């Protein structure tokens, strides 16, 4: 939980090495975990299609990258073991991503899709000759790098009380959009923030058919950590039930850090507000790093 990639992804990185993966058939097979990415996202119901059978409120995202002397066909299993030395695990074996050479996937917690375990977990990969790679990492509570004795986080807007109330903490609640105003030069979004630990955010924009167009600037400057003037003239009302207004010049809307053309901006019809924690990394000047994210319903 040392670093987070922010644009459209919700991941925290523990970077161990950056070596490539080469296979020499005359050398003993080796494997090590070079990086683990992980985070928790609180999803609204409308994130999923109407035909989805399961619509988890909370999901982990994991991505495991490896180095060593082995072939992909040598891998026997890829697992994330749940906290407290549990024998229960999530299986990422079938989630190999060729583009990033990683095992990446979203995971939710059994039949209860509104809660997730937090704490120290173990990523374990085993090859067909019993060679193993393992790495332990800790998913802290919202706003902290440690779990502070909590064993679960839950979506409090969907579940009034956790199944494990004495050891559970609410995840970052989803914001509620109150109004969206569109003009050729300015887009205004009014939204309400609930709950604690919210430190940063962004607005995602879509056209009428749901295609992603681009995003606003992030609420905090990535260098200074200051709230940008677009948001309440430089103030973030991030407490319980407080309303915020984001006034975004259409020239500020970006996609992959490139300015979106005015013709595409003119197709914007709906939006979502995304909130992040991240105060746990701010003291080191790492603005933009986070472990928890929440996504509003589309407005």
Same-domain check for residues 159 and 223: no
Q: Taking the mean position of all CA atoms in its chain, how far away is CA 140?
A: 14
Same-domain check for residues 54 and 90: yes
Same-domain check for residues 78 and 150: yes
Given a contact cutoff of 8 angstroms between Cβ atoms, the answer to whether 173 and 159 are in contact is no
Of the pLDDT bands very low, low, confident and very high (cuts 50, 70, 90), residue 25 is: low
Q: Please indicate, yes or no, if residue 229 is contained in any of the structural domains.
A: yes
CA distance 105 to 170: 23
Same-domain check for residues 197 and 166: no
Given a contact cutoff of 8 angstroms between Cβ atoms, the answer to whether 151 and 167 are in contact is yes
Q: Which of 119, 153, 170 is the last residue of a domain?
A: 170
Structure tokens at 205: 């924009």
> What residues contact 290, with CB distance under 8 A and at least 6 apart?
4, 6, 10, 12, 39, 199, 200, 276, 277, 278, 281
> Is it the case that residue 17 has pLDDT exceeding 70?
no
Q: What angle do CA 77, 82, 88 make, to 5 degrees?
A: 65
> What residues contact 168, with CB distance under 8 A and at least 6 apart?
115, 150, 151, 152, 153, 154, 162
For residue 151, the number of C-alpha atoms closer than 13 Å in the C-beta half-sphere is 11
Domain that holds residue 21: 3-170
Q: Please indicate, yes or no, if residue 18 is contained in any of the structural domains.
A: yes
CA distance 203 to 180: 11
Same-domain check for residues 83 and 129: yes
Neighbouring CB atoms inside 10 A of 243's CB total 13
Asked which of 8-22, 36-50, 143-157, 163-177 is least confident by mean pLDDT, the reply is: 8-22
H helical segments located in the chain: 262-265, 279-282
Asked which of 30-34, 43-47, 163-167, 242-246 is least confident by mean pLDDT, the reply is: 163-167
CA distance 281 to 145: 8
pLDDT tens readout for residues 54-84: 889 999 999 999 888 988 889 999 999 999 8
User: What's the pLDDT score for residue 5?
Assistant: 33
Q: Please indicate, yes or no, if residue 287 is contained in any of the structural domains.
A: no
Helices (H) and strands (E) in the chain, counts: 2, 22
Same-domain check for residues 104 and 144: yes
Same-domain check for residues 132 and 194: no
> Is it the case that residue 111 has pLDDT exceeding 80?
no
Q: Please indicate, yes or no, if residue 230 is contained in any of the structural domains.
A: yes
Q: Please indicate, yes or no, if residue 298 is contained in any of the structural domains.
A: no
CA distance 143 to 140: 8
User: What's the pLDDT score for residue 178?
Assistant: 96
Q: Please indicate, yes or no, if residue 290 is contained in any of the structural domains.
A: no
Helix, strand, coil percentages for the chain (3-state, nearest 5):
5, 45, 50
Same-domain check for residues 162 and 200: no
Asked which of 94-98, 143-147, 248-252 is least confident by mean pLDDT, the reply is: 94-98
Same-domain check for residues 113 and 223: no
Same-domain check for residues 213 and 72: no
Same-domain check for residues 191 and 123: no
What is this structure's pTM?
0.87
> What residues contact 226, with CB distance under 8 A and at least 6 apart?
220, 234
């Amino acid at each position: 939980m040392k670093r987070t990639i922010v644009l459209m992804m919700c991941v925290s990185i523990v970077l161990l090495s950056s070596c490539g993966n080469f296979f020499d058939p005359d050398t003993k097979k080796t494997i090590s975990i070079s990086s683990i990415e992980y985070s928790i996202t609180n999803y609204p119901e409308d994130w999923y299609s109407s035909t989805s059978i399961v619509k988890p409120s909370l999901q982990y995202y994991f991505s495991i990258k490896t180095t060593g002397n082995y072939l992909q066909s040598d891998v026997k299993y890829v697992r994330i073991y749940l906290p407290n030395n549990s024998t229960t695990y999530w299986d990422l074996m079938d989630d190999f991503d060729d583009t990033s050479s990683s095992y990446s996937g979203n995971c939710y917690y059994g039949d209860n899709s509104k809660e997730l375990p937090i704490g120290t977990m173990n990523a374990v990969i085993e090859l067909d000759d019993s060679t193993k790679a393992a790495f332990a990492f800790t998913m802290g509570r919202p706003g902290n790098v440690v779990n502070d004795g909590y064993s679960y986080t839950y979506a409090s807007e969907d579940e009034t009380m956790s199944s494990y109330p004495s050891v559970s903490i609410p995840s970052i609640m989803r914001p509620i959009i109150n109004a969206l105003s569109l003009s050729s030069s300015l887009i205004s979004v009014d939204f309400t923030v609930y709950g604690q630990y919210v430190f940063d955010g962004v607005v995602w924009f879509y056209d009428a058919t749901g295609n992603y167009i681009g995003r606003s600037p992030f609420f905090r400057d990535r260098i200074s950590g200051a709230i940008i003037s677009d948001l309440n003239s430089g103030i973030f009302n991030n407490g319980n039930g407080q309303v915020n207004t984001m006034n975004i010049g259409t020239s500020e809307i970006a996609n992959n850090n490139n300015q979106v053309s005015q013709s595409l901006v003119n197709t914007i019809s709906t939006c979502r507000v995304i909130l992040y924690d991240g105060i746990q990394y701010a003291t080191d000047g790492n603005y933009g790093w986070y472990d928890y994210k929440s996504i509003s319903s589309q407005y």
